[in-house]
Amino acid sequence: MDYHKSPFIVIWELTRACALRCLHCRAEAQYFRHPDELTTEEGFALIDQIAEMEGAMLVFTGGDPLMRPDLFDFIEYAVKKGIRVSMTPKVTRKAMERAKAAGLSRWAFSLDGPNETIHDYFRGVKGSYNRTIKYIHYLHELELPVQINTVVSRFNVDVLKEMAERVQELKAVLWSVFFLIPTGRATNLEPISPEDHEKVLLWLSELKDHVPFDIKTTEAPFYRRVLLQKGEEVFQRTKPGRDDARPFMDGIGRAPFAVNDGKGFVFISHLGDVYPSGFLPIKCGNVRETPLLSIYQNHKVFRELRNPDLLKGKCGQCEFRHICGGSRSRAYAVTGDYLASDPYCIYQPKKTNVSVKSGSSLMNEN
Ligand code: SF4
């Protein structure tokens, strides 16, 4: 794949409607659907465009995708077009059965704590933890692979070991560990410090060799730097011997090259607006006016994001910038500049005199 030509992951936020009030919600989800959401016909047309993109996979997100009655029509249509599809909905048994029948590759559950107290506090709804566990067991009955997503913040960083045990007990095939970006409702949560980012990533890099599930990080591209520094492969294959090892990789497909915001990755909002990521709120066009691929290939922001030599500060001087490049969303959320250094990476590039203020939550760029 060539990420200048085509994204590897297309995230479509079907709706912002959701019954939950999660503390870290990027979308600041609302109880009701927006009247100007992409229509069913516009959705099919969008899927037609995605089908033309070589090797792209589609992830339905929200809000809660299940708030759209045409969700399963979209899944069926995309699967028929040969697209690998995943989604992150809230759960009902009926929905899981329909998703399985429609050809969904994997169901992702959010689990932000290893117990009721922590998870329910995060989700803002009592009983959410127990419901999630129950539905995960049902998904196993349906033989649909399970992915568990966890958002890391100061609130749960001390219980990550227990979280990993829970992920194993629940027989997930992938643990997607997301490092908080202070945007949307997540501005109310405290991210972990740069030093703790490093500690957690080092711990994950050890853990992955001792657990049966795959580990994927989101918005921590310097995990790739951590692996390289340990002399390890950056693009691991899915755990061998697992039933879903061939069709699925990284979530539902392992990225062939380093994915970053706008680089192998594109986000479409419920209104059809196109962004380099759901956490990087710079609108670059709308699929109602411009073909998705044209926005992805040609918009200045996307083009700049795909050029690591344009990065500033420490990231710009870093020997890992082509394989890592830092989280562009975090750089933007913290500094207002999507090309600035990732403020939560403690690495000191070999040829730079740009320093990191240890113990501070922010990096000094000058
Ligand atoms: S300095 Fe930037 S490019 Fe280098 S490892 Fe850290 S985040 Fe990645």
Over residues 177-227, the pLDDT tens digits come to 999 888 766 667 788 999 999 999 999 999 999 999 999 898 899 998 999
Statement: residue 259 has pLDDT above 60: yes
Contact assessment for residue 136 and residue 109, using Cβ atoms and an 8 Å cutoff: yes
Question: For the chain, how many residues are written?
Answer: 366
DSSP 105: -
Contact assessment for residue 160 and residue 168, using Cβ atoms and an 8 Å cutoff: no
Statement: residue 361 has pLDDT above 70: no
Whether 10 is in the pocket of ligand 1, judged by its Cβ within 6 Å, is no
Region 145-159 average pLDDT: 92
User: Ligand 1 centre from 313 Cα, in Å?
Assistant: 10
User: Ligand 1 centre from 321 Cα, in Å?
Assistant: 6
**Collapsed DSSP state (helix, strand, coil) of residue 74:** helix
The model carries a pTM of 0.81
Region 272-292 average pLDDT: 96
User: Ligand 1 centre from 345 Cα, in Å?
Assistant: 6
The pLDDT confidence band at residue 343, using thresholds 50, 70 and 90, is very high
User: Ligand 1 centre from 358 Cα, in Å?
Assistant: 15
Q: Exposed, middle or buried by CB within 10 Å (0-12, 13-18, 19+), for 69?
A: exposed
Residue 345 identity: C
Q: Which of 190, 365, 184 is nearest to 277 (CA)?
A: 184
User: Ligand 1 centre from 342 Cα, in Å?
Assistant: 7
Whether 315 is in the pocket of ligand 1, judged by its Cβ within 6 Å, is yes
pLDDT for the residue numbered 97: 86
The pLDDT confidence band at residue 360, using thresholds 50, 70 and 90, is very low
User: Ligand 1 centre from 50 Cα, in Å?
Assistant: 31
pLDDT for the residue numbered 62: 78
Whether 225 is in the pocket of ligand 1, judged by its Cβ within 6 Å, is yes
Contact assessment for residue 354 and residue 366, using Cβ atoms and an 8 Å cutoff: yes
User: Ligand 1 centre from 324 Cα, in Å?
Assistant: 6
* Mean pLDDT taken over the chain: 85
The pLDDT confidence band at residue 362, using thresholds 50, 70 and 90, is very low
Kindly give the number of the ligand 1 atom that is closest to the alpha carbon of 225. Answer: 5
Residue 129 CB neighbours (<10 A): 22
- Helix 160-169 and helix 194-207, axial crossing angle in degrees, nearest 10: 30
User: Ligand 1 centre from 325 Cα, in Å?
Assistant: 6
CA distance 137 to 169: 11
User: Ligand 1 centre from 314 Cα, in Å?
Assistant: 7
The protein residue with its alpha carbon nearest to ligand 1, atom 6, reads 345
Q: 242 or 275: which carries more pLDDT confidence?
A: 275
Whether 321 is in the pocket of ligand 1, judged by its Cβ within 6 Å, is yes
Whether 78 is in the pocket of ligand 1, judged by its Cβ within 6 Å, is no
Statement: residue 114 has pLDDT above 60: yes
List the alpha helices (DSSP H) in 222-352.
Answer: 222-229, 292-298, 300-305, 313-317, 328-335
Whether 198 is in the pocket of ligand 1, judged by its Cβ within 6 Å, is no
The pLDDT confidence band at residue 240, using thresholds 50, 70 and 90, is very low
**Collapsed DSSP state (helix, strand, coil) of residue 38:** coil
Whether 194 is in the pocket of ligand 1, judged by its Cβ within 6 Å, is no
pLDDT for the residue numbered 246: 33
Whether 343 is in the pocket of ligand 1, judged by its Cβ within 6 Å, is no
Sheet of strand 57-61, all strands in order from the earlier edge strand to the far edge: 214-218, 174-179, 146-152, 106-110, 85-87, 57-61, 9-13, 265-268, 274-275
Pocket test for ligand 1, best of 324, 328, 330, 337 (most atoms within 8 A of CB): 324
The pLDDT confidence band at residue 255, using thresholds 50, 70 and 90, is low
Name, in order, each residue with C-beta under 8 angstroms of 326's C-beta and a sequence gap of 6 or more: 221, 222, 311, 315, 341, 342, 345
Whether 327 is in the pocket of ligand 1, judged by its Cβ within 6 Å, is no
pLDDT for the residue numbered 253: 47
